[in-house]
Amino acid sequence: MFRGIKDYKLQKQSGLTGTIALTPKRKLVLDMNVKGYSFLVVSIVAEIFGTLMLKLSNGFTLLYPSLAVIFGYGLSFYFLALCLRSVPLSLAYAIWSGAGTALTALIGFLFWNEAFHLAKLLGIILIIGGILVLNTSDTAHNKNKTKEKTI
């Protein structure tokens, strides 16, 4: 990863792996995996911002909210692309779309008095459950691959 730097492997309870490196000046450098999930969070926030501005743009009839839509979605896709350098596409897109959908539904309920009933709640729970299944199945698959190589 870096010349003359010792890399230390890090595995968290979630099963995510990354590398922490200490530079000669004792600065902490994080691996792209940690950065990837940080990029994903920024992408989700930008996507929600773009979606909220879409509501405020009144069908692209208001200039500033319309420009904010373009900015929000552009920023969202840029950081999603950066995220995909280290996070698998299926997992990143599931988290991005699921979190965006769930948070947008919640914001619509809180700020625009949109309907929020049992069916919507169940749908959001199913989305979050699907994300968890994707995440744990990918982690379990990688652990099985590692076991097969060591035998």
Distance between CA 94 and CA 61 in Å, rounded?
Answer: 31
pLDDT at residue 5 in the model: 44
pLDDT at residue 110 in the model: 92
pLDDT at residue 25 in the model: 55
Inform me whether the pLDDT recorded for 127 exceeds 80: yes
Distance between CA 146 and CA 100 in Å, rounded?
Answer: 33
Inform me whether the pLDDT recorded for 144 exceeds 70: no
Kindly report which listed range (3-12, 22-31, 81-90, 108-117) carries the lowest average pLDDT score: 3-12
Domain range list for the chain:
1-30, 32-138
**137 confidence band (pLDDT: 50, 70, 90):** confident
Instruction: Please classify residue 147 by burial: count the beta carbons closer than 10 Å to its beta carbon, then call 0-12 exposed, 13-18 middle and 19+ buried.
Output: exposed
pLDDT at residue 24 in the model: 56
Residue whose token pair is 């914001």: 107
Instruction: Please classify residue 58 by burial: count the beta carbons closer than 10 Å to its beta carbon, then call 0-12 exposed, 13-18 middle and 19+ buried.
Output: exposed
- The better pLDDT of the pair 23, 77 is held by 77
Give 38-96 pLDDT, tens digit per residue.
999 999 999 999 999 999 999 999 999 999 999 999 999 999 999 999 988 988 998 99
- For the whole prediction, is pTM greater than 0.75? no
Percent of the chain with pLDDT over 90: 46
- In this structure, are residues 127 and 102 in contact, taking their beta carbons and an 8 Å threshold? yes
pLDDT at residue 140 in the model: 55
- In this structure, are residues 34 and 18 in contact, taking their beta carbons and an 8 Å threshold? yes
Distance between CA 5 and CA 60 in Å, rounded?
Answer: 52
- CA distances (Å), origin 77, targets 56, 73, 93, 103, 146: 20, 6, 11, 18, 33
pLDDT at residue 134 in the model: 78
- In this structure, are residues 30 and 16 in contact, taking their beta carbons and an 8 Å threshold? no
